[in-house]
Amino acid sequence: MMMATVDAASFDVIVIGGGHAGAEAAWASCNLLREVWLDSGGRAGRVALVTIDPGKTGVMSCNPAIGGLAKGQIVRELDALGGLMPLAADATGIQFRVLNRSKGPAVRGPRCQSDKYAYAREVQRLLGTRENLTVVTGAVEDLVVEGGRCAGVGVRTAEGVVGLRGGAVVLTTGTFMRGLMHTGERTEEGGRVGEKPAVGISASLAGLGFELARLKTGTPPRLKAGTIDFASLERQPGDDEPEAFSDLSAHPLAGEFGLADQAAYGRVAERFPVLEQRDCWITRTSRAVHNVIRANLERAPMYNGQIETAGPRYCPSIEDKVVRFADREAHHVFLEPESLETDEIYCNGISTSLPGDVQERVVRGMPGCERAEILRYGYAVEYDMVPPHQIDATTMTKRLPGLFLAGQINGTSGYEEAAGQGLLAGLNAVRWLRGEDFVRFGREEAYIGVLMDDLVTKIPREPYRMFTSRAEHRLLLRADNAWDRLAGRAHGWGLLDEAHSALYRRREAASLAARRVLASATVDGVGLGQWLRRPDAAEDRVAAVVAAGSGDALAAHGSVLRSLIADERYRGYIERQRREVERLREHETTALPTDLDYATVSGLRTEAALALNRFRPATLGQASRIEGVNPSDLMLVRVRVLRGDQRRAS
């Protein structure tokens, strides 16, 4: 990786923004372009990462954690696709837990508490192993359009405005587009504390005809650990046997892939977990705290008219909780360590933009926090976004070919949702350059597919967050089978680097060996598959049988074993979901014309025509999920499309 300020330089892919979406987009692009390809003039493809402050690349702006319910599944998918986030999370996690462990595998979510400073450094270190990546320090002011496509960017640097030419541009602006922060009555321009907003890019997008909107998110206060009485609080430890996000982490056969010799994977391959593990702690608000908040609502930006944009419904501020759930006498608050290097504590559960003096009364009204010192007050931030009906499920904009959008600019919240979009954007940016077919994930293939389909068929009234309940085929989209679902395709696209490719090939052989044992072995006089469906069938005994029968340590390890067990235990339900997927496949694969004016479809309701013309769905399946479109409307559209096909055929 090179650090540079480059004038009139040319790159294959330009990534704007060094957050979680931007880091993943740059990583994926570099991996795809690492080898010489025909149109490159005999060189590896070049990627530029443009960021205002390279030292903030990969920074955790809010919660110092990766994964969770549905989010953990996305991180596992990123691992199967050769992504960056799982590696960084495994190398810097200070607590690992599987949420919903007592429930079925479809809703279990791996999560880790991260050392936020170590995480950002690890992201930067991993990106630094990519020799075809150049980091450019500066703020993007405008987009360059030539021949009806995005052809580069103008960047304001310390030396002035410079131009970068690019074959494709990936825009990942986070909360920085005209960002405005609020703490009580005080406002400050910026996308994050101490960092300036990006103003020019909003004007550039609007000038190109893009519709913009505003959203809001928030963050809680940070406390000084030494001022908290942890002895009086409930301890929340990590799992005794932590599970990694990446199948490359602490693998029993890590040496087989030469991981210890590779700069990108050495730390994780040595041991897992890498860092010292820490506990979290649980406290709560109270009726007295709620009364303090109610008495100061006129000083809360969300309630005095200072902020009029929508915030995240599923990660509400403490003000919202008190108003919306007025009958609740208390809300849990999780005190989470932010780093091994500092004594900062993240107060998960009291995101707020109340004035500082009110935040102090709220914090000190919680058990164990009576003498707590606030190191940084919570705040809300408003920012521009591009309503995602203007992109398709590849992340490329419909209005401007060659421009891809990923992360909060598309109306999502969360590091994991951003990273999933970033990887897809980087992948499709390179495929667009090469003239290859775009990659679109179906709702039955990946949580990333559910995410993208929801974005391009829904009106964003609030920041979008992923849940397992959004995935109708979630038994097919488990955390344990992410490699089975996606790694083969990623390998075929050239997305996997050497280490991931080696593991993919080795893992395929191990999985086949494990399933042969499943078909032939017996336990207690019955077939292993039948025995597995017993409620008392222990995983460690299954592992012993598979290891002995296959002679392969990998076949009885980690996600290979967990996937084998889940597939067998839930075989009937899984087969039922697959039949449902096949039944719906005709709708999902019936393409709709990109130039069809739905107002001309005979009999179609005005509401449906307006919605379809706004979202421009790619398939009949997507059209069925657009708000305002009913089954009768779909029948009329289908008839119109079939008639058009018949006319062209004749």
Instruction: Give the domain ranges of the chain.
Output: 10-64+115-190+383-464, 222-242+277-377, 496-580, 590-649
Does 17 show up as a binding residue in the annotation? yes
Yes or no: say if 404 and 397 are a contact pair by the CB < 8 Å rule: yes
159 belongs to an annotated ligand binding site = no
Beta pairing partners, 222 = 346, 376
The reply, when asked if residue 314 is annotated as ligand binding, is yes
Pairing of strands 379-385, 374-376: unpaired
- Residue 170, classed as helix, strand or coil, is strand
316 is in an annotated binding site: yes
Annotated ligand binding at 163? The verdict is no
- Secondary structure percentages of the chain, helix, strand, coil, to 5: 40, 20, 35
Q: Is 324 annotated as a binding residue?
A: yes
Among 115, 23, 21, smallest CA distance to 64 is for 115
Angle between helices 71-80 and 415-434 (to 10 degrees): 30
CB 457 within 8 A of CB 442: no
24 labelled ligand-binding: no
Q: Are 382 and 215 in contact (CB under 8 A)?
A: yes
Distance CA 565, CA 484 (A): 13
Residue 82 labelled as part of a binding site? no
Residue-wise DSSP of 260-290: GG-TTTHHHHH-SS-SPP--EEEEE--HHHH
Q: Which of 151, 121, 130, 132 is nearest to 54 (CA)?
A: 121
Q: Is 21 annotated as a binding residue?
A: yes
Dihedral pair phi/psi, residue 241, rounded to 5°: -120, 85
Q: Which fold has domain 222-242+277-377?
A: Elongation Factor Tu (Ef-tu); domain 3 (2.40.30)
What is the per-residue pLDDT for 420? 99
Query: Does 311 carry a binding-site annotation?
Result: yes
Residue range 262-316, pLDDT digits in tens: 545 555 556 788 899 999 999 999 999 999 999 999 999 988 888 878 777 778 8
Question: Does the annotation list 319 as a binding residue?
Answer: yes
The annotation status of 317 as a binding-site residue, yes or no, is yes
Q: By three-state DSSP, how is residue 242 classified?
A: coil
Confidence at residue 82, expressed as pLDDT on a 0 to 100 scale:
96
> At 494, is the secondary structure helix, strand, or coil?
coil
The annotation status of 320 as a binding-site residue, yes or no, is yes
pLDDT of amino acid 452: 97
- The answer to whether the annotation marks 628 as part of a ligand binding site is no
* 626 annotated binding-site participant: no
Q: How far apart are the first and last CA of the chain?
A: 56
Instruction: Give the pLDDT confidence score for residue 6 in this predicted structure.
Output: 45
- Which residues are bridge partners to 135 per DSSP? 3, 49
Q: What is the CATH number of domain 10-64+115-190+383-464?
A: 3.50.50.60
How far is 581 from 575, CA to CA, in rounded Å? 10
Euclidean distance between CA atoms 510 and 504, whole angstroms: 10
CA distance 221 to 335: 11
Residues of the chain with pLDDT under 50: 2-7, 37-40, 258-261, 263, 646, 649-650
Asked if CATH classification 3.30.530.20 holds for the domain at 590-649, the reply, yes or no, is no
Is 22 annotated in some ligand binding site?
Answer: yes
**Which of 423, 418, 510 is CA-nearest to residue 463?**
418
One-letter identity of residue 100: N
Residue 193: CB partners within 8 Å, gap ≥ 6?
A: 181, 376, 379
Rounded to the nearest angstrom, the gap between the alpha carbon of residue 427 and the centroid of all alpha carbons in its chain is 15
Q: Which DSSP letter does residue 64 get?
A: S
Considering only CA atoms, which of 386, 381, 393 is closest in space to residue 351?
381
Residue 131 DSSP SS3: coil
Q: Supply the pLDDT for residue 1.
A: 54
Strands (E), 220-263: 222-224, 234-236
Residue 322 assigned ligand-binding role: yes
pLDDT given at position 37: 47
* Residue 19 labelled as part of a binding site: yes
Cα separation, 436 vs 622, whole angstroms: 23
Q: Annotated binding residue at 280?
A: no
Which pLDDT score, from 0 to 100, does residue 38 have? Answer: 40
Q: 168: number of CA atoms within 13 Å, CB side?
A: 27
